[in-house]
Amino acid sequence: MKRLRVLLPVLVALVLLLTFSVPAYAATSNTITIQGTPAYIEITTNVNTWTINGITGSGYMSNNTTYYSNPGGDTVAPSATVVDGECRFDTTNAGNIAIDLSVNIPDFTGGDASTNSNLGTNDTTKFGAYTYVSGVAFASKVIAKASGSSVSISNLAAAADKYWGIMLTTQSNAWTSATAMSSSCTISAVAH
């Protein structure tokens, strides 16, 4: 009995020691799957050329004259509220987010090399340019600068498209040669 009295506390201490030293078998980690879909910007435009006064005109441009990329006529201004049929270009948002579009028209090269006034108005050796957009008042047209133009089309949803056109007023001075000039108009998209 005396042995049992001495052995019992030792056994209880041993059981308690083993109980607290045995590791618990609970979950000690979790796995989290991380996914991400990139915001993707891509645009396409149905037509990538415009010959000034070449839609219904002779293909030759006169000085101090306003031309429109209007399929209805090179010198025919769009309606008060522009409609699709008055716009040569149709740009589609082929990406997966809403975008804003701006149009830049750099200086011409070759021939008289007329330069962009960046004011929308012409001058002796400078042309003025605007963009106009279907469904928007023509009076709200946006100046098309050589670079840094303001947004012409705002919040174009993914998979949506928008018709737009260019209004260009040629330089006021007479041309000094018959050599063709060209410019590379760029429409650019950024996330809305």
23 in any annotated domain? no
CA 14 to chain centre: 74
Secondary structure letter of residue 131 according to DSSP:
E
Residue 85, number of CB atoms within 10 A of its CB: 12
Q: What is the mean pLDDT of the chain?
A: 92
pTM for the predicted model, two decimal places: 0.83
Say what the pLDDT of residue 27 is: 82
According to the model, what pLDDT value does residue 98 have?
A: 98
Token pair 């059981």 is at which residue?
Answer: 15
> Would you say 152 and 135 are in contact if contact means Cβ atoms under 8 Å apart?
no
Flag whether 25 is in a domain: no
136-192 per-position pLDDT tens digit: 999 999 999 999 999 999 999 999 999 999 999 999 999 999 999 999 999 999 999
Tell me, yes or no, whether 108 lies in a domain. Answer: yes
Total domain count, the chain: 1
The answer to whether position 76 is within a domain reads: yes
How many whole angstroms separate alpha carbon 168 and alpha carbon 129? 4
Identify whether 162 is part of a domain.
Answer: yes
The DSSP result for 2-34, as a single string, is HHHHHHHHHHHHHHHHHHHHSPP-S--------
Mean pLDDT, rounded, for 116-135: 98
Q: What average pLDDT does range 39-68 have in this prediction?
A: 96
| pLDDT value of residue 26 | 81
Residue 64 inside a domain? The answer is yes
Query: pLDDT tens digit string along 8-50?
Result: 666 566 565 555 555 667 888 999 999 999 999 999 999 999 9
Pairing of strands 89-93, 186-191: unpaired
Report yes or no on 35 lying in a domain: no
Of the listed ranges 19-23, 85-89, 121-125, the least confidently predicted one is: 19-23
The pLDDT > 90 percentage for the chain reads 85
What is the token pair recorded at 48? 């990538």
Q: Could you list the residue range(s) of the whole structural domain that residue 163 is in?
A: 50-191
Q: Is residue 40 part of a domain?
A: no
